[in-house]
């Protein structure tokens, strides 16, 4: 259910509606819009009698939201969500490029790599400190040490950092060091973890599960938003199919469909989908052409020595080439890719 307020409604009117909603044992989510405020209502199992709210001062309309995802859908919020991360805006005209190694391996690797990425136009630095590895015997990440290295790289370059959180136990650590908390594909349906990051003040980059439908993906985002965190970026990273030439299949058709249904920014990760570096640049180009709000790519100065996902890592030169190409493609779809911090975008 969505309560639409009149353009001239006062804060007291909004507060009165929120109080009436909580008196019904439901949750109110005020959504300030460009011209007026709407109040999303969640928590009802059955229909709510609209007349309980439509008669309140300042209310123009009470609308039933028919889709299972409420807060993530455009029915509740028609305008695009733009997420601020430091000076970067995700979901606005400037496309966001998140780049960095699969894993944080050392101070030198991370900081010098971050400098190159910054110079060539990356907006944010990625790097895993807690790694969800298929085998328990492979490199699992540096843990807190890795997060400290990321924070140091941010200090040196000004790039906000994105890193994966795998369990609730480490949330305070993640909150202390990172700017965006990544929830990995394997945790897309870890509901207690989703709820916990939903109570965090940090934006969340939510990756689509390996076999998740669009509805499951949006409902996972809904878990985060239902707890109050509105800053969720959706990340398509490839799904399981019968492909025998790539690691996963990048589902690019989900990009315009997500953009149609949801107001949340959509980021595409071609690296994990492809699994092999020669596929990454073409897929990144296609992602921006398909309307993605940004891309996340793995980059390593020496991919052959990477401790995880070396085969899909772009070299530093390939990253520069990628940025040059995105600067050509972005304007064709009425976006910009000027690179670096974009305070005015």
Query: Which residues contact ligand PEP (rule: CB under 6 A)?
Result: 102, 128, 132, 184-186, 207, 237, 272
132's contact among Mn ion, ligand PEP, none, with CB below 5 to 8 A by partner kind, is: ligand PEP
113's contact among ligand PEP, Mn ion, none, with CB below 5 to 8 A by partner kind, is: none
Shortest distance in whole angstroms from residue 208 CB to ligand PEP: 8
Compare residues 64 and 240 and give the one whose CB is closer to ligand PEP: 240
Using alpha carbons, list the distances in angstroms from residue 332 to 3, 268, 328.
38, 18, 7
| DSSP string for 98-139 | EEE-SB---HHHHHHHHHHHHHTT-SEEE-BSS---SSTTS-
| Total Cβ atoms within 10 A of residue 249 | 15
Q: Would you state the structure tokens that stand for residue 211, as one six-digit string?
A: 């076999």
Shortest distance in whole angstroms from residue 182 CB to Mn ion: 11
Query: Which residue, 20, 38, 13, 54, is CA-closest to 263?
Result: 38
| DSSP string for 249-288 | B--TTHHHHHHHHB-S-EEE-HHHHH-SHHHHHHHHHHHH
Compare residues 4 and 180 and give the one whose CB is closer to ligand PEP: 180
Compare residues 41 and 162 and give the one whose CB is closer to Mn ion: 162
Measured at CB, which residue is nearest to ligand PEP? Answer: 184
Contacts of 328 (CB under 8 A, 6+ apart): none
Shortest distance in whole angstroms from residue 310 CB to ligand PEP: 12
Contacts of 154 (CB under 8 A, 6+ apart): 125, 160, 161, 179
User: Site for Mn ion (CB under 5 A): which residue of 102, 117, 239, 297?
Assistant: 102
Q: Are 326 and 293 in contact (CB under 8 A)?
A: no
6's contact among ligand PEP, Mn ion, none, with CB below 5 to 8 A by partner kind, is: none
User: How many whole angstroms separate alpha carbon 181 and alpha carbon 85?
Assistant: 11
237's contact among ligand PEP, Mn ion, none, with CB below 5 to 8 A by partner kind, is: ligand PEP
User: How many whole angstroms separate alpha carbon 178 and alpha carbon 148?
Assistant: 9
Compare residues 36 and 139 and give the one whose CB is closer to Mn ion: 139
Compare residues 2 and 99 and give the one whose CB is closer to ligand PEP: 99
Shortest distance in whole angstroms from residue 9 CB to ligand PEP: 42
Site string for Mn ion, 299-318 (x = CB under 5 A): ----------x---------
Shortest distance in whole angstroms from residue 272 CB to ligand PEP: 4
Sites of contact with Mn ion (CB under 5 A):
102, 309
């Amino acid at each position: 259910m969505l309560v639409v307020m009149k353009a001239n409604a006062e804060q007291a009117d909004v507060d009165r509606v929120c109080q009436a909603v909580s008196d019904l044992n439901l949750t109110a989510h005020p959504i300030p819009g460009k011209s007026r405020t709407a109040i999303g209502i969640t928590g009802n199992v059955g229909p709510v009698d609209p007349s309980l709210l439509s008669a309140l001062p300042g209310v123009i309309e009470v609308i039933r939201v028919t889709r299972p995802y409420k807060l993530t859908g455009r029915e509740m919020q028609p305008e695009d969500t733009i997420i601020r991360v430091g000076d970067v805006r995700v979901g606005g005209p400037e496309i966001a490029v998140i780049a960095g190694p699969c894993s944080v391996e050392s101070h030198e690797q991370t900081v010098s790599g971050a400098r190159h990425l910054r110079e060539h136009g990356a907006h944010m630095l990625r790097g895993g400190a807690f790694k969800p590895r298929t085998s328990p015997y492979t490199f699992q990440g540096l843990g807190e040490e890795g997060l400290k290295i990321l924070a140091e790289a941010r200090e040196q370059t000004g790039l906000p950092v994105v890193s994966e959180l795998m369990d609730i136990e480490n949330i305070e650590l993640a909150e202390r060091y990172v700017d965006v908390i990544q929830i990995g594909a394997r945790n897309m349906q870890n509901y207690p973890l989703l709820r916990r990051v939903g109570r965090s003040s940090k934006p969340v980059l939510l990756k689509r599960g390996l076999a998740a439908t669009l509805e499951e993906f949006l409902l996972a985002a809904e878990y985060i938003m239902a707890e109050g965190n509105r800053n969720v970026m959706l990340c398509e990273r490839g799904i399981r199919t019968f492909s025998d030439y790539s690691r996963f299949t990048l589902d690019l058709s989900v990009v315009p469909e997500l953009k149609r249904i949801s107001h949340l920014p959509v980021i595409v990760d071609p690296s994990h989908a492809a699994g092999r570096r020669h596929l990454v640049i073409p897929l990144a180009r296609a992602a921006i052409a398909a309307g993605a709000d940004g891309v996340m790519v793995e980059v390593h100065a020496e991919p052959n020595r990477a401790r995880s996902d070396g085969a899909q890592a772009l070299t530093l030169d390939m990253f520069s080439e990628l940025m040059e190409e995105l600067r050509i493609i972005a304007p064709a779809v009425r976006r910009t890719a000027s690179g670096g911090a974009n305070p005015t975008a």
